[in-house]
Amino acid sequence: MPRPDLFEGLATHYDALMTHVNYDRWFHITGVLAGLLPRGFTHVDAGCGTGVLLERARRAGWRSIGVDISRSMLTVLRRNRGPLPCAVGDLRAFPVRHADLITCLFDSINFLLEPEEVELALVKLAASLQDGGLLYFDVVTERMMVDHFADQTWTETHGRVRTTWANHYDPATRICETWVRVSSGAESATRERAYDLDFLVDALQNAGLTLLAAFDVENGKPPTRRTCRIDFIAAKNPTPDLCRRMGKCFTEMKRQRW
């Protein structure tokens, strides 16, 4: 039975609502990782949404494809950005093989609401990577959900689009539910779950991946209880040389960004 498309009511307006998102940062780090790979590498943007990052990657000359579970988001991608290579796909049954670089950003992992789903998704992403391949993903933390969403409501205006947001966080399940109404239309609801750093590190290891870096996106330092978003970089069967070069690149990234 097909899963409901949670973004069906938001997809048309999604880009307008997300103009504040720092895609430049994500693409910068992705570009640094791409520099560690052989020429002609294959990049997959898992959870590509409306294709902002995918479009930048293709313009850079990469062999990039997008995968997203939401058909409506991919419809907007094709309408706004042309015939970029993309396909419907679920992180828990990932359809791509022989990738060298996978990005899975904008807290796509948090939309998996059971720990077993996260573990399965990481196993599937690992299976999609070639030896020496890299996975770059991020998650939002419980701190983010509590400080910025829990039981808060607000209204935003983006050009002619007016949205009303309402949120509820359940500390027992660690799930944050967000309802968004665009103008006077119907409400759309999405749900995300917070996961502990230790759980994600273990899940990566159990999936056969080597964690190369996990850091607070605000300062590049190890995550703390006050961290709102964490970036993870992992590799499949990395060589010592790849680990060494990744360490050097991360040091350089911190100098430039933080």
Residue 30 in contact with residue 44, Cβ under 8 Å?
A: no
What pLDDT band is residue 185 in, cutting at 50, 70 and 90? confident
Residue 171 phi/psi, 5° resolution? Answer: -65, -20
Return the percentage of the chain with pLDDT > 90, whole number: 90
Residue for token pair 């993870």: 232
SS3 content of the chain, % helix, strand, coil (to 5): 35, 30, 35
For residue 35, the one-letter residue type is G
What does the block give as tokens for 69?
Answer: 């579970």
Spatial distance between the Cα atoms of 82 and 20, rounded to a whole number of angstroms: 23
d(CA 130, CA 61): 20
Residue 161 banded pLDDT, cuts 50, 70, 90? confident
Distance CA 145, CA 7 (A): 20
DSSP class of 141: -
d(CA 190, CA 234): 27
The pLDDT value recorded for residue 171 is: 98
**Residue where the block lists tokens 């409306």:** 50
Look at residue 257 in the predicted model and tell me its pLDDT: 63
Q: Where are the domains of the chain?
A: 11-142+195-257, 146-188
What does the mean pLDDT of the chain come to?
Answer: 95
CA Rg, the chain, in Å?
18
Instruction: Note the CATH number of domain 11-142+195-257.
Output: 3.40.50.150
pLDDT for 254: 74
Measured CA distances, 94 to 45, 67, 97, 131 (Å): 12, 9, 8, 17
- Residues 50-107 have pLDDT tens digits of 999 999 999 999 999 999 999 999 999 999 999 999 999 999 999 999 999 999 999 9
Residue 203 CB contacts under 8 Å (≥ 6 apart), including other chains: 115, 118, 119, 122
127-160 tens-digit pLDDT: 999 999 999 999 999 999 999 999 999 999 988 8
